[in-house]
Amino acid sequence: MLNSREIFLKGFGRHEDLNVIGKGLNLPFLVKDYELMKWVGANSFRTSHYPYSEEALQMADRRGFMVIDEAAANTLSMHAVKNSKDRDKLSLNHKRHVEELIQRDYNHPSVVIWSLGNECETYVESGKGYFREIVAHAKGLDASRPVTFVIDSSPETELEADSFDVICFNDYPSWYVNCSHYEKIGEMLRPKIEGFWKKYGKPIIISEFGADTIPGLHSEYNLMWSEEFQVEMLKRVLAVAGEYPYVAGAHIWNFADFKVGQHTTRVTLNWKGLFTRERHPKLAAHEIRKLWRSK
């Protein structure tokens, strides 16, 4: 609810990344990014996967964006902290970081949810209790906002989400699973949505979904990496999300292409952006704009 009216979170996961400077803050492009998000019809975003600059939140306040503010706890491994000493050290650092995040951003009206981490091992038996302890710590610092972890588990494997206020999950149907078969998106996504609702009865946000897309690559059939495939995949996921009144939002991954480390599974960039790294719109930006601005 926003000002006592029901609202659906439309927007993106983002990165503070730019071809001009790399990872960091560029004030003119900060303005550009907000203009593009307004243009496409978004009303929200997540600071994936770390706190963004204070200027970014100040701009969100001014422009009326809702922000899921995320701590820098990305893919924490419970397998790596099996002994109590290591786990206690991790927990202490995690709580300290959450304190710093909430202390800095508490008074920003744009911040609507605290996310305490992304794709951490909330489904590992040895981690049971760790994440709910971090959630309780955050709630002790701010009882006025929902708290969550963004998860990549399934309803069958998830162990900690009963302590979250919102279920945020990442999923890439027809990209990493059943590659190219976007006609199977519904049968892959619906059981997950319905399973989380049945298990927890809490609002759901699909916090990541998308397809790598090479600008200028086109095809008349469902060819992965083409601009047409990205459009079809995103529209189908959004259509499924719209079937459920308890799905409270959907964030496309990603707002813009961004630089990644060198390895064999990426070619220089993560290409899942609706915009290029230089902020030029792909076909999907125009198509999602038609969808979001019509509602």
**183 inside domain:** yes
Q: What is the pLDDT of residues 128-175, one digit of tens each?
A: 999 999 999 999 999 999 999 999 999 999 999 999 999 999 999 999
Neighbour count for residue 87 (Cβ, 10 Å): 17
**238 inside domain:** yes
**Active site includes 232?**
no
Q: Which of 69, 26, 18, 23 is nearest to 48 (CA)?
A: 69
Count the alpha carbons within 13 Å of 227 in the hemisphere toward its beta carbon: 15
**33 inside domain:** yes
Predicted local distance difference test score (pLDDT) of residue 32? 96
Q: Which member of 119, 158, 160, 228 is catalytic? A: 119
Here the CATH number for the domain that contains residue 34 is 3.20.20.80
For the chain, the domain total comes to 1
Residues of the chain with pLDDT under 70: 295
Q: CA–CA distance from 182 to each of 13, 106, 152, 154, 287 (Å)? A: 21, 40, 20, 20, 17
Structural domain for 85, as ranges: 9-293
**118 inside domain:** yes
Neighbour count for residue 49 (Cβ, 10 Å): 18
**2 inside domain:** no
Length of the chain: 295
> d(Cα 132, Cα 162) in Å, to the nearest integer?
8
Expressed in percent and rounded to 5, the helix, strand and coil fractions of the chain are: 40, 20, 40
Neighbour count for residue 243 (Cβ, 10 Å): 12
Predicted local distance difference test score (pLDDT) of residue 2? 87
